[in-house]
A and B are shown apart, each in its own frame.
Chain A
Amino acid sequence: MAGWRGSRGGGDGTPSDDRIASSQTVRLGKVQPQAPGHRTVFCNDREANSLAKYKIMGVVNLFMGKRKIRYIHSEVNHIESQMIAWVHDIEVVASWSGDSLQWLLLWIVGLKGALRYHLLGFLLWLRTSEGNSVSTTKYDVFTFLPKGLFEQFRRVANLYFLMISILSCTPVSPVSPITNVLPLSLVLLVSLVKEAWEDWKRFQNDMSINNSNVEVLQDWNWVPTPWKKLQVGDIIRVNQDGFFPADLMFLASTNPDGVCYVETANLDGETNLKIRKAPERTWDFVSPDKVSEFKGEVQCEQPNNSLYTFTGNLIIDKQILPLSPNQLLLRGCSLRNTEYIVGAVIFTGHETKVMMNSMKIPSKRSTLEKKLDKLILALFTVLFCMCLLGSIGSGVFINSKYHYLRFDTSEAQFDPDHRFVVAILTFFTLITLYSPIIPISLYVSVEMIKFIQSTQFINNDLRMYHAESNTPALARTSNLNEELGQVEYIFSDKTGTLTRNLMEFFKCSIGGEVYGTGVSETEIGAAQRTGVKVDAQKRSSAASERGFNFDDARLMRGAWRNEPNPDCCKEFFRCLAICHTVLPEGDESPERIRYQAASPDEAALVVAAKNFGFFFYRRTPTMIYVRESHVDKMGKVQDVPYEILNVLEFNSTRKRQSVVCRYPDGRLVLYCKGADTVIYERLVDGNPDLKRMSREHLEQFGASGLRTLCLAYKNLKPDVYESWNEKYIHAKSALRDREKKLDEVSGHQYSQPNIKKFQVAEQIEKDLILIGCTAIEDKLQEGVPACIETLSRAGIKIWVLTGDKMETAINIAYGSEVACKLINNGMKQFVISSETEAIREVEDKACHTSRRCFSHLGDQIELARYMKELVKNELKSCHEEAQKFLHMDSAPKLALIIDGKCLMYALDPSLRGMLLNFSLNCTAVVCCRVSPLQKAQVTSLVKKGANKITLSIGDGANDVSMIQAAHVGVGISGQEGMQAVMASDFAIAQFRFLTDLLLVHGRWSYHRICKVVTYFFYKNLTFTLTQFWFTFETGFSGQRLYDDWFQSLYNVIFTALPVIIIGLFDKDVSANLSKKYPELYKEGIRNAFFKWRVVATWAFFAIYQSLVLYYFVVASSKRAINSSGKLFGLWDVSTMAFTCVIVTVNLRLLMMCNTLTRWHHISVGGSILFWFIFVFIYSGVALPNKEQENIYFVIYVLMSTIYFYLTLILVPVAALFCDFLYMGVQRWFFPYDYQIVQEIHRHEADTSRIGLLEVGQSQLTPDEVRSYAIMQLPGEKSRHTGFAFDSPGYESFFASQAGVFVPQKAWDVARRASMRSKPKTPRTPRTPRTPQRN
């Protein structure tokens, strides 16, 4: 007992619900608290592991719903213990594969005696085949139906129809159950088939992953074994380019020094290689003989989802070796540049970090859909009113004077003595009768349309395909297509989004001297702005290499030795060459080497060092080799190895990176590079001139739109270093519990070991000596200015939220040729900055009291109060001024520039409203120096405060919160990491593709969905109202006008397809014109096509049409309808009316089309034709055992009369007459903008294709060229791919195995990480380090 209690460690204070949380799916970016307790894994010993699990997991907490069952087993037999261990495992699995397993398990463990023993034994046997297998399916065979149905009935519309269906089984119902059951089951069927298909694909994908082979150590041999058979503690071998099947502890590799290189692209999208290093003790476990002797015990944390943390100990022969993330090879990563590695399985299957990390895609609903809910609600109200009216009528009507109706007490609904009961029952009758007013197939149709729109149109758009990075656009959700057509505010990140994130070393300042002759793009822009002509030729053409765009004769080719401060230069270059985490790849020659860097800035700096003659060419875990052009004499080269003692890594809070290295001569130096603010804080006192000069240079660089870094170094005394290092290692290797004790910082987002580490790091990164600073140019992305201009013409306001300095941000935003055209000189700019004299003063005051700014609490509070007051006043004055401008006629446009610190105060609840009011009046807003959280705050300020539709676009992890906060999140793919993409709703490769995404796809989707929704509304209203008018003439009895089958098939067959066609194909203006007239987009922002006014118009015409449809048909069939004097009965009239409804409604659809493809004709014609075919068969065949054959022969009777044809012409024409008149008048006198554009270009052929041909010609495959040629043939109609769902949800896995690319679907991103993607066998191994060659 005591044992397990101890092993739970500090978990006692943790609420037990943590256990639930840890098994739930969690969004990336939020790291869940670690599960309490440790886990012990015995390497290479399966038996021991199964036993060990029991020892550790003495307590199994099983949660079923809110019920918690605790099993405490102190002494049980072996098999029982295995079961208990397994119960825990199944719990993890069950949380993935659905509830059924849990229930099964609950049932089994609740049993007593032999049965329980056998069942558990059987399941245990089943488990032997489970191990490392993963299941990402939503359902299994048993849960599919109940769970799938449950999911479906969570939609209100479906639930409503379920209730109506139940109601229609009661005698109250005027219609047979089929009327409501059939459409409901069809809709459910379609949805369920879609679910099943998707799940089946997932299952297949899982299977292929589970069955792929890996080599496992068995009896001194490597035996290929399927992944799923892997178990914790197994020793496996992974070959080059292979994927790790589970989370492995790294034991040994073929590389010397026990390192290996891994690519984590599947995890976080970063393509640079990362080094992993095995514990030294196990380096030689490469051969089977050797490794077979290995018996070790790993004590590590419980499985969790934090990708970048891991703490544990490896115990070999009672020796404890600390384990860190450096020794962990995560499932989903692949091995590179290493022949093979040997590892021990630590976490399997769903316990692997990547699986724990897979997230549910946050479901966003579009604004239009929310409005649709309101419309449905309105329809419910209408339905209620209609039913109420009818039921009152029936209560009044019921009277025993109608003797032929035999109203008596036998049936409650026709009991004239209880009118109130009659009314209530009739109410239900009428609800079932009028139920089609709620369009049941609306949701499923809209879903289908959006699905095809996103998978077929957005994902496949060649205009949004970026050839350089080979990235097509990706719609990760199909919910938000039409939202794209209504975006009013765009929040954009700067770096990597507006700019290329393609960093080039551009300028530097060494020892107070500026080097670099280039003129940055933004400078050119700035110059043009002020009217100075800049010779573009002046731009350095010496950009010899990617990442290096620097030219200054004073530094290049060793000339730096003649500069006034050569030593400083030397340190500068060494710092560049040593202080980084870059990996070299390829040949060790300056021309052929390639650098793998976590960020492009780093790579640019290393490249710069190379060009200055400090060529970093090899890295081992402990050494960095630099080939230095000889320091004393020109032309000589010397290879200098530097021993890297510590790397204090970079992150966004530290904003700096340090390396402690030992020169060959034993000198200990700490090199540090980082943001100016953090470096300046840590500089040694003295040398104020250099500091001032450098600061000036920094500001100058910043003003040119360059990214700056400060470099500094510090010589270390060995004894100081040693004592520090001890502390540092201590902090690093400490296990969790101890850190918790040590840790004083709380509420921090980093896991505790890191905080501890940072605290220790802090102790040595001080008293630095400034060397200089670097300036890196981040080029604007292609087409950004044009795109921004187009978007702003479209009425979209773009806010730039960046972490950059204010000067950089303003320069990037400035409206010139090269920079983004966000701000221009004509604008009235409001700058709210914390970098003002007044604030500096207060800051300085605060600085006086303590050595470091802001560290003293009292001053900080005072400063905050002061700042808040300041910001408030500033905002107020800006606001007042803005108000003044607003009332002027020719008011200049306004722009607001605010920095993060001020924003923090401006976002305070008391000032928020003013900020919002003011900023909404601005055409451009730039927020600089903002944190990720502030980005999200600003986004939700506009989203919630102003109720505008927002879009966030970004590329990095710091944009994730903003992307999730906005209505639509767009990630830039194919660049830095994948985190932004993983959190986004749409992923595009370039900022400029936003024009296509918004102006083309978004606008079309909006138009289409609006049309679909309003049409659905109209057609169901029309249909139901004809019933309603009939009710008045049936004594409010609720007699149905239409046959059951007519009514049930109306929505799902007779009017289903055309509306889908319009949802897919309708195009008001072509893609090119959409971009040529971006102003058209404003119609979407104003929501011009789904306003209540639009809905009311449709409702009006629906009422008019239903009146015409009903009364015209009835009136024309009152008298004898043929020369033999015969008359129509009820069903003749109803069939005639229904025919008219079908024809009218389908023709109305044709009237609202902007384009008519033959699919329109086919679907509309087909729908009408299908109705006739249906009714011919239905009324032609006498069904046996059918009690009432009302429709028998009716259509033939109808068609034998001339009246039928006369009515069929008259009624639709009369019904659509008003619509046509309205359309004509509207277009003539109050045309929409798109209609004018249509007219302007009415004679032009659709030129978009030709444009595309020009763009895409070079990239066309011969097949495609041929198919173009065929298409261009005169008179030849194009081959159509059809709109069969060609492989929706088909996982990219299989397709990529076959070498075919399939765009990712939203649902497979979660599994993407665990997938083995395409085998890269054809690719020859990339070996950067080739020890064989020298």
Chain B
Amino acid sequence: MNSGTPSSSAAGAGSADSIAPRRNSKRPKYSRFTQQELPACKPILTPKWVIGTFLLVSVIFIPIGVVSLFASRDVVEIVDRYETECIPETLRNDKVGFIQSDRSKTCQRTLRVPKNMKQPIYVYYQLDNFYQNHRRYVKSRSDQQLRNNGSLQDTGPCKPEDNTAGGPIVPCGLIAWSLFNDTYGFTRNNQQLDVNKKGISWKSDREHKFGKNVFPRNFQSGTLKGGATLNPNVSLSEQEDLIVWMRTAALPTFRKLYGKIEVDLQRDDLINVTLENNYNTYSFSGKKKLVLSTTSWLGGKNDFVGIAYLTVGGLCFFLALVFLLIYLIKPRQLGDPSYLSWNRNPSGH
């Protein structure tokens, strides 16, 4: 057990001390990570950088703004608010009563085309104060049921429009139930303008979300009718009005695509609209508007993007100038030690 003679042990003790640190060294291993010396660039927001960045932003933003503003200005838009005008003047005191009665609700409107409109001309209806984004409303649908024929019973979230005595409602839920049912017919010089209602919905909705072999059942068969009825013999994937309607809007004021008029309209053309004013927005005093609009490469008439770009770009340009002026008049010397707080008031903080 005892190892070594005394003399060697003494010598060993001496040498062990000098060797031991090398082997048992607790010296941390060097790595750039642990020594916090990872290669890094150190951007400093110098005045030049500030001015440069502002200039760069303005240089990029102003053209984009101009282009998108032009695109937006190219679009011709006709908006006609009709919810009050389409009620006979005598009955305007009780709009809700009128809309719930069985009277004829056909209404004639005349629109004047302010500029030449190239086809396709998109027909929208715009609702106001209509909370398609209400929590109760948004969740009141069953995508399973819309897609699969076999999922008729999947009406879980659809309450209260889920079932009737005759079985589950297809499509169930408040969204479908409250389907918009005003209709528009257009004539120009007594000549019918066809409204193409195909292809007004997103392709992905049409093909994936609404089943080809799912047909409406028990729809609007309850005592309370919310809106349009659906042809039970047409599959849901072809009911594009429904598909458009069911892509719920983000805001309480929204437009929905109604159809396309695939004829050019000339300036000062008078368009007669034959309008079935069926949908009840009167109880919550919502507005209804009919919109005819062309599109540019960018889309519909929306000045906002262009103006926003121009504003941001212009502000940046302005600030670049201001900073440049300051820089020229009273430059701040970079790294001037006199800026250090302990140099400014040496007595301490």
B22-30, B103-111, B228-236: which lies at the A interface?
A: B22-30
* Contact of A1120 with B293 in the complex, beta carbons under 8 Å: yes
Residue of A nearest to B327 (CB): A1228
Chain B residues 324-348 with CB under 8 Å of chain A are: 326, 332, 334-337, 339-342, 348
**From residue A868, how far is it (CB to closest CB) to chain B in Å?**
34
Segment at the interface with B among A291-299, A638-646, A1244-1252: A1244-1252
Among residues of A, the one whose C-beta sits closest to the C-beta of B65 is A1210
Do the beta carbons of A1119 and B301 come within 8 Å of each other? yes
B250 interfacial by beta-carbon distance below 8 Å = yes
Interface pair B309/A1210, CB less than 8 Å apart = yes
Closest to B64 in A: A1206
Interface residues in B139-188 (C-beta closer than 8 Å to A): 139, 141-144, 147, 154, 156-157, 159-161, 174, 177-178
Q: Which of B1-24 contact A (CB under 8 A)?
A: 1-4, 6-10, 12-13, 16, 20-21, 23-24
Interface centre among A407, A472, A1323 (most CB of B within 10 A): A1323
Instruction: Give B46's nearest chain A residue, CB to CB.
Output: A1239
> Complex Cα distance A1119/B315, Å?
26
Task: Report yes or no: B28 in contact with A461, Cβ–Cβ below 8 A.
Answer: yes
Query: In the bound complex, how far is the Cα of B53 from the Cα of A1235, in angstroms?
Result: 19
Do residues B341 and A1079 form an inter-chain contact, with CB atoms below 8 A? yes
| Bound-complex Cα distance A1129 to B250 (A) | 6
A470 within 8 A of B: yes
Residue of A nearest to B34 (CB): A460
Q: Interface 1/0s, chain A 1115-1127, versus B by CB < 8 A?
A: 1111111111111
Question: CB distance B133 to A1039 under 8 Å?
Answer: yes
Cβ 8 A contact of A408, one of B6, B160, B284, B296 = B160
- Report the Cα distance A1086→B349, complex, angstroms: 9
User: 8 Å CB contacts to B: which residues of A436-459?
Assistant: 456-457, 459
B130 CB to nearest A CB, Å: 7
Q: A401-B284, A1134-B250 are in contact. Are A1241 and B335 (CB under 8 A)?
A: yes
In the complex, B319 has a CB within 8 A of chain A? yes
A403 within 8 A of B: yes
Complex partner residue of B256 from A1127, A1187, A1197, A1213, CB under 8 angstroms? A1127
Q: Is A1186 an interface residue (CB 8 A)?
A: yes
Say yes or no: A403-B280 contact (C-beta < 8 A), given A1301-B26, A1318-B24, A1324-B4.
yes
Q: What B residues does A1130 contact at CB under 8 A?
A: 132-133, 138, 247-250
Let me know if B174 and A1125 touch, CB within 8 A. no
Within 8 A of B (CB), among A780-798: 795
Of A239, A459, A1241, the residue contacting B28 (CB under 8 A) is: A459
Encode A1197-1221 as 1/0 by CB contact (under 8 A) with B. Answer: 1000111001101100110010011
Contact B298 A1202 (CB under 8 A): yes
A1116 partner residues in chain B, CB cutoff 8 A: 302, 304-305, 308
A1267 to chain B, nearest CB (A): 7
B143 x A1188 contact (CB < 8 A): yes
Nearest opposing residue in chain B for A1069, CB measure: B42
The answer to whether the Cβ of A684 comes within 8 Å of any Cβ in the partner chain is no
Which residues of chain A are within 8 angstroms of B82 by Cβ–Cβ distance? none
Contact A1213 B312 (CB under 8 A): yes
Contacts of A1079 in B (CB 8 A): 340-342
| B5 → chain A closest CB, angstroms | 8
B160–A410 contact, CB under 8 A?
Answer: yes
Residue total for A at the interface (Cβ-Cβ under 8 A): 143
Q: Which residue of B lies closest to A1239 (CB)?
A: B335
Contacts of B3 in A (CB 8 A): 1324-1325
Q: How far is it, in angstroms, between the C-alpha of A998 and the C-alpha of B315 when the chains are bound?
A: 44
Q: What residues on B are CB-neighbors of A1119 within 8 Å?
A: 255, 299-302
Task: Evaluate contact between A472 and B157: CB separation under 8 angstroms.
Answer: no
- Indicate with 1 or 0, residue by residue over B250-294, a CB within 8 angstroms of chain A CB atoms: 111111110010000000000000000000100110000000010
Closest to B148 in A: A1184
* Chain A, residue nearest B20 (CB): A1323
**Contact partner, A1221, options B124, B143, B248, B319, Cβ 8 Å:** B319
**A854 contacts chain B at the CB level, 8 A cutoff:** no
Q: Contacts A1126-B202, A1228-B332; is A1281 near B13 (CB within 8 Å)?
A: no
Q: State A1187–B340 Cα separation when bound (angstroms).
A: 62
Q: From B138, which residue of chain A is reached at the shortest CB distance?
A: A1039
Contact flag A1323-B34 (CB < 8 Å), given A1121-B299, A1129-B250, A1130-B133: no
Interface status of A186 (Cβ within 8 A of chain B) = no
**In the complex, are the beta carbons of A460 and B37 less than 8 A apart?**
no
List, in ascending order, chain A residues with CB within 8 A of B302's CB.
1116, 1118-1120
> Closest Cβ of chain B: how far from A108's Cβ, in Å?
46
C-alpha gap A1193/B209 in the complex (Å): 10
Residue A1071, interface by CB 8 Å = yes
B-side interface size class? 35 or more
Is A1120 touching B10 in the complex (CB atoms < 8 A)? no
* Partner of B134 from A1004, A1039, A1248 at Cβ < 8 Å: A1039
B90 interface contact, C-beta 8 A: no
Given contacts A1037-B131, A1182-B208, contact A462 B28 (CB under 8 A): yes
Segment among A693-701, A704-712, A1154-1162 that sits at the interface with chain B: A1154-1162
Q: Give chain A nearest CB distance to B296 CB in angstroms.
A: 7
Most buried by A among B30, B42, B341: B30
Partner of A1071 from the list B13, B36, B247 (CB cut-off 8 Å) is B36
Say yes or no: A1303-B26 contact (C-beta < 8 A), given A1126-B202, A1187-B156, A1220-B53: yes
B32 CB to nearest chain A CB (Å): 5
Does B6 lie within 8 Å of A1330, measured CB to CB? yes
Tell me if A145 counts as interface (CB < 8 A to partner B).
no
| A1159 CB contacts on chain B under 8 angstroms | 38
B250 touches A1120 (CB 8 A): no
User: Which residues of A are found within 8 Å of B226, using beta-carbon distances?
Assistant: 403-404
Q: Is B316 an interface residue (CB 8 A)?
A: yes
Q: Is the CB of B174 within 8 A of A1281?
A: no
At the interface, yes or no: A1112 with Cβ under 8 Å from chain B? yes
Q: Are B29 and A1123 neighbours in the complex by a CB distance under 8 Å?
A: no
Residue of B nearest to A974 (CB): B26
A1071 to B9, CA, bound (A): 46
Nearest CB of chain B from residue A1158's CB, rounded to whole Å: 8
Task: Please tell me if A80 contacts chain B, counting CB pairs below 8 Å.
Answer: no
Asked whether A1126 and B200 contact (CB < 8 A) given A1112-B308, A1233-B340, the answer is yes
Q: Are B136 and A1037 in contact (CB under 8 A)?
A: yes
Q: Does chain B have a CB within 8 A of A1224?
A: yes
User: Which A1020-1047 residues have a C-beta within 8 angstroms of B?
Assistant: 1033-1035, 1037-1040
Q: What is the bound-complex CA distance between A1277 and B39, given in angstroms?
A: 8
- Interface hits, A441-497 → B, CB 8 Å: 456-457, 459-462, 465, 467, 470-472
Who on chain B is nearest to A239 by CB?
B1
B124 to chain A, nearest CB (A): 8
By the criterion CB–CB under 8 Å, are A1123 and B299 in contact?
A: yes
A1184 to chain B, nearest CB (A): 8
Give the distance to chain B from A212, nearest Cβ to Cβ, in Å. Answer: 17
Closest A residue to B284 by beta carbon equals A401
Interface residues of A in 1291-1334 (CB under 8 A from B): 1299, 1301, 1303, 1318, 1322-1327, 1330, 1332-1333
Could you jot down 12 A-B contacts, CB within 8 Å? Answer: A462-B30, A1004-B36, A1112-B308, A1127-B255, A1155-B40, A1202-B297, A1202-B298, A1209-B64, A1217-B312, A1283-B33, A1325-B9, A1332-B6
- What 9 new A-B contacts, CB under 8 Å, besides A465-B27, A1197-B204? A240-B2, A401-B283, A1034-B133, A1118-B255, A1126-B201, A1133-B250, A1207-B305, A1217-B312, A1249-B35
B interface residue numbers (CB < 8 A to A): 1-4, 6-10, 12-13, 16, 20-21, 23-47, 50, 53, 57, 61, 64, 68, 120, 122, 124, 130-139, 141-144, 147, 154, 156-157, 159-161, 174, 177-178, 199-202, 204-205, 208-209, 226-227, 247-257, 260, 280, 283-284, 293, 295-302, 304-305, 308-309, 312, 315-316, 319, 323, 326, 332, 334-337, 339-342, 348-349
The 7 closest A-B pairs by CB, nearest first: A1324-B12, A1120-B300, A1239-B335, A1119-B300, A1125-B122, A1193-B204, A1129-B247
